[in-house]
Amino acid sequence: MIAPINRTLLRTIFAKLAQAKVKYCMGSKVSPLTADSNDVDPEKGLDCSGLVQFLTARASDQAIILPEGSSGQIEWCLAHDLTRRDYASFAGRIDNVLRLNFISAERSQSARGDQSARHAFFTFNGMTMESHGRDAHGNGCDSRVWDTPVLMLADYCFEFPSHP
C-alpha cells in the first residue's frame, strides 16, 4: 500500500510554483526533492514529469518518490496497482480524487506527429496541475480545464490515495 498524498499541500506547492511563474523546460527536475518550493528557480524551470515527481515527493512527506520521466512514472503506477480509469469519464469529476494522467508518445505522435512527446499531469476536481510549453498563453506551471482538446489524448488516468 502506498502512502496517501496530502492534497492541500500538493495544491499549495503547485500554486506557489505557478505564482512564481516557473517556466517549462524539457528535462528539468528539482534536486533535491526535499527542496522548498521557494527554492525552485523559475528560470531553470521544470518539465511535466519533474513537476509531478516534485509535487508527489513533497506532498507525501517523501514517502512516494516517483522515477524521473513519464514512461517510468507510468510503469511505477502500474507496478503499484493504482486504480486506472478512463480519462474522459473520470478526469472532469468534482469528487476530491487526485488523478495522475499521462499522454503516451504513441497518442501524441498520432495527433501531432511528434515522436518523443509525452505528458504527465495531475487533475483534481476538473482542473489540471501541470507544466507545459505548448500553449499560446505561455509556458510553465499552470492549470487548464480537464477537457482542453490536447489533454483528451490522455490514455492513462490513475487515482492516487490522498487525504485533505
The per-residue pLDDT for range 97-128, each reduced to its tens digit, is 999 999 987 765 555 555 455 899 999 999 99
- 39 or 13, which is more confident: 13
What's the rounded mean pLDDT across residues 133-138?
A: 60
5-163 under CATH 3.90.1720.10, yes or no: yes
Which of 41-50, 106-115, 136-145 reaches the highest mean pLDDT? 41-50
55: closest CA among 100, 2, 1?
100
Cβ 91 vs Cβ 126: under 8 Å: yes
For the four alpha carbons of 40, 13, 85 and 143, in that order, the dihedral sign comes to negative
Domain layout of the chain by residue ranges: 5-163
> How far lies 100's CA from each of 71, 89, 113, 161, in Å?
13, 14, 24, 11
